[in-house]
Amino acid sequence: MAKQINTIGVLTSGGDAPGMNATIRAVVRTALSKGKKVVGIKRGYNGLISGDIHEMGSKDVSDIIQRGGTILHTARCLEFIKPEGQKRGAEMCKVFGIDGLVVIGGDGSFKGAEKLAGLGINTIGVPGTIDLDIACTDYTIGFDTAVNTAMEAIDKVRDTSTSHERCSVVEVMGRDAGYIALWCGITNGAEAVLLPEKKNMSQEELIRMIIENRNKGKRHNLIINAEGSSEDSVKLAKKIEEVTGISTRATILGHLQRGGSPSAVDRMHASMMGSIAVDLLCEGKSNRVVAYKEGKYLDYDINEALEMQKSISEKRYDLSKILSI
């Protein structure tokens, strides 16, 4: 017999991502429409362990769909990695009568959700990360906004780089995944992209390419560097300038990629995924993660999802061909 769900908790964990508020809004309003009580848990698993838990109504999520960040705040919780912390979290769920929990975050957040499911708390994960690094889904909340933010910033860097006939090395976020770098490399018309997932040009090859471009009359070069690649952006820029004599600047875009009003794509998928998460809990399901795959919303067992591998396909993304267009 499926577990009766009367109170649903929602938390955001790990790095924030544009669209998380849209997910929170969808969870709250979908649950209320089904006659369920909803509580918001502040600061991720830290708030769960400490009991920073508050009831949420429809008005609490008014006027947030367009806001970046997360109204519930977020934090990383080292204590929750340990079994003692996980047990404290499960006990706190029981204290507050939380029957089901929606966890919005990345793979680290899902590992915590899986532990809670094993301790009797029905949990559903919703993929919220700008990195697009969750293998079971083609889409993660925040990626679309983040990559557009980065693309627009790089366009501006290129404007000034062209004016001064410089070479620009621009570092984008993504942790160990190169999807933001890949998309920006293509959409910003970069001369080279350095990714964590593949063997990149050596410094010597990169410098030779820049010199050859100069000999052809090209007066500016743009290199996109993923933060997880083997190259240090500042050191690379210094090396290029030393060898070529071309003025070279490193620009690290940093956390601006996590901020800003979410795009229509992020608002739409975040809202759908939040609503589906509540539906799954009300159906008695647990230890699942919502995904968007090949145009359809699906759900996977969290353990299965965490075991999946994701990599940038050499066949699909032949950068030597794409970047020459």
pLDDT in tens, 87-98: 999 999 999 999
154-201 pLDDT per residue, tens: 999 999 999 999 999 999 999 899 999 999 999 999 999 999 988 888
More confident residue, 69 or 1: 69
- Residues with catalytic roles: 131
DSSP 3-state of 305: helix
Distance CA 244, CA 166 (A): 11
Q: Residue 321: its pLDDT value, please? A: 55
What size, in residues, is the chain? 325
Task: Give the integer Cα–Cα distance in Å for 181 and 174.
Answer: 8
Six-digit token string for 164? 């001064």
Structure tokens of 6?
């009367």
pLDDT of residue 185: 95
> Quick check: 101 and 124 in contact, CB under 8 A?
yes
- Pick the more confident residue, 257 or 323: 257
* CB-based burial label for 274 (10 Å; 0-12, 13-18, 19+): buried
User: What's the rounded Cα separation, in Å, for the pair 213 and 32?
Assistant: 60
Give the span between the Cα atoms of 275 and 106, in whole angstroms.
18
When pLDDT is averaged across residues 16-41 and rounded to a whole number, the result is: 98
pLDDT band (50, 70, 90) for residue 3: confident
Average pLDDT over residues 57-77: 96
Which residues of the chain form beta strands (DSSP E)? 7-12, 37-41, 53-55, 100-105, 122-127, 167-172, 192-194, 221-226, 248-252, 288-293, 296-301
Average pLDDT over residues 37-53: 97
d(CA 314, CA 316): 6
pLDDT in the model for residue 312: 78
Q: Residue 227: name the closest of 253, 207, 200 by CA.
A: 253
Query: Looking at this protein, which amino acid is placed at residue 280?
Result: L
| DSSP structure string for 153-177 | HHHHHHHHHHHTT-EEEEEE--TT-
Beta partners for residue 118, in sequence order? none
Given this model, what pLDDT does residue 319 score? 60
- The set of residues, in sequence order, having a beta carbon less than 8 Å from that of 17 and lying 6+ positions away, is 128, 129, 130, 140, 141, 142, 143, 145, 146, 258
Give me the mean pLDDT over the 294-315 stretch: 89
**Which pLDDT score, from 0 to 100, does residue 33 have?**
98
- Percent of the chain at pLDDT above 70? 95
**Which tokens in the block code for residue 75?**
């934090």
pLDDT at 325: 47
CB 2 within 8 A of CB 284: yes
Answer positive or negative: Cα dihedral of 23, 268, 185, 160: negative
* pTM, to two decimals: 0.94
Burial of residue 287, with CB atoms counted within 10 A of its CB: 0-12 exposed, 13-18 middle, 19 or more buried: buried
Q: Which residues pair with 40 in a beta bridge?
A: 10, 54
